[in-house]
Amino acid sequence: MSLPEHAPSNFIRQIIDADLASGKHSQVVTRFPPEPNGYLHIGHAKSICLNFGLAVDYQGACNLRFDDTNPEKEDLDYVQSIQRDVQWLGFQWAGEVRYASGYFQQIHDFAVELIEKGLAYVDSLNAEQIREYRGTLTEPGRHSPYRDRPVAENLDLFARMKAGGFAEGEHVLRAKIDMASPNINMRDPIIYRVRHQHHHQTGDAWCIYPMYDFTHPISDAIEGITHSLCTLEFEDHRPLYDWVLDNISIACHPRQYEFARLNLNYTVTSKRKLKQLVDEKHVTGWDDPRMPTIAGFRRRGYTPQSIRRFCESIGVSRADSTVDVAMLEHAIREDLDENAPRAMCVLRPLKVTIENWPAGKVEVLQVPAHPKREDLGVREVPFTREIYIDAEDFSEDPPKGWKRLYPEGHIRLRGGYVMQCTAMEKDAAGQVIALTARYDEKTLGVNPEGYKANGVIHWVSADQSVPCEVRLYDRLFSVENPDGDKSRDFLEFINPESLQVMSAARVEPSVAAYPAESRFQFEREGYFAIDPSSTKGKLVLNRTVTLRDSWGKEQGKGGK
């Protein structure tokens, strides 16, 4: 089987190629097994692209299977959000959505089989005692006093656990492996515990739930997974994965392979900490555009193509590393520079009255929607007697090299005429609050005669533009590794300038006709997307990314 030309080589693809060539497998079957206890983040995007991408490239199948073994922390909202995220990234799972809970009866029966073989026992130590008996990295564990219970007693106790006869923590079921193993995961791991919790899929049918390390290999085997791909933190769990499958009556024995997880600077991806950000309202929700969740990136204006391209560019290896978030920002800039239509938006409106333009006259200028994409057509930009420019594009006392507007200076209005500032109006504090100008009627699309414009600025019509709220998002954390100093709370490193709201902004009317999540390049301001919360009466725009990477420069100045 030949792969698409774009497919990058990596150690997992080499393993798959060898397995297919040897006849070990005739089809590739992978799975993406998220826990429904939070929204997916950028690290999950790498796993999604890997597992689903392999299935696509090898014309195989990838299952979406929820590891729903901990109902206390799970929610249907998370289940639904994960499905949305996978599909938004451009992938589709094979067949129906699967749930580990759909295999609970089979998993239970395999646990009974282990008990009958003398390979599992009910332990009555409490959680603290189990930790104490487990030992340390340098000292072996000790046998529980309940380790040698008779098989019949273990079967009876496990049946009573299943029937709801015990409180949470009163008993657990443990695999009987080796308390002296150098791998702590093999020191009689817990494989079942009592949880009197309502489950979002099985209701109240169960009050005992299998642990992940017991559920995962069995679920893989039931589904006929050929290559079970996990991140490196599960490498020490692989012996347990194999032990479970070697000791139960199941024909299929998948292999687990580990790859390096995605670590991104200026970011935290711990689900617990992301949930803390949400619960404590440091952000507005899981889909806050500052969050590293797929939903957050989508709302911010990232495209699925840019995230897939980013995941492809960082590659797949077994070496842990931290990726610069600038690589992700480069991926979206590259995408939007090529595909996003242009528009003009004034964030800090300063009114300019063009005194030689007739009152009430509206001229509709035809401006290309994209400088290099004729297929995107043109947009209509109304030009009127009163316009807004950005207050930062005018200086009463311009510094050397100033390329924007100043008193008596000439400036080109993007897509329009050259105008000259003729007067200023100030408030009681001496701040410029309005300008008067004259336009040169002979300069539409041509250079002025006898003088030069000092530069080009963006603008909108005062009465034909659309009021909007523009949210300028930046990185949520101000240091590269907000989770790196264990002596300090990661919340201390939240960037106080991660969100600035420009509530008086104005945008050209063409933008208001687009649906939610449409993306634009606003001339000289950056890339933006229409927020899903927008209504006909209130247009809200989110900054996806700046035109250029200014973060490093600001850091060098001690800015952020």
Active site residue 176: no
Residue 203, classed as helix, strand or coil, is strand
Phi/psi at 80 (5° precision): -70, -40
Tell me the pairing of strands 410-413 and 418-426. Answer: antiparallel
Nearest Cα neighbor of 489 from 326, 264, 288, 280 is: 280
Q: Which residue has the tokens 């002296």?
A: 180
Active site residue 312: no
| Residue 238 Cα distances to 228, 244, 254, angstroms | 10, 10, 11
Nearest Cα neighbor of 226 from 360, 370, 28 is: 28
CA distance 462 to 460: 6
Q: Which of 31, 174, 271, 342 is catalytic?
A: 271
Are the CB atoms for 31 and 65 separated by under 8 Å? yes
E-strand stretches of 377-534: 378-383, 386-390, 410-413, 418-426, 432-440, 456-457, 459-461, 466-473, 499-507, 519-522, 526-530
CA distance 77 to 446: 56
CA distance 283 to 273: 12
Q: Which of 35, 113, 235, 334 is catalytic?
A: 35
Active site residue 403: no
Are the CB atoms for 114 and 252 separated by under 8 Å? no
Q: Which of 13, 195, 261, 309 is catalytic?
A: 261
Report CA Rg, the chain: 30
Residue 503 C-beta-side C-alpha neighbours within 13 Å: 0
Residues known to be catalytic = 35, 261, 271
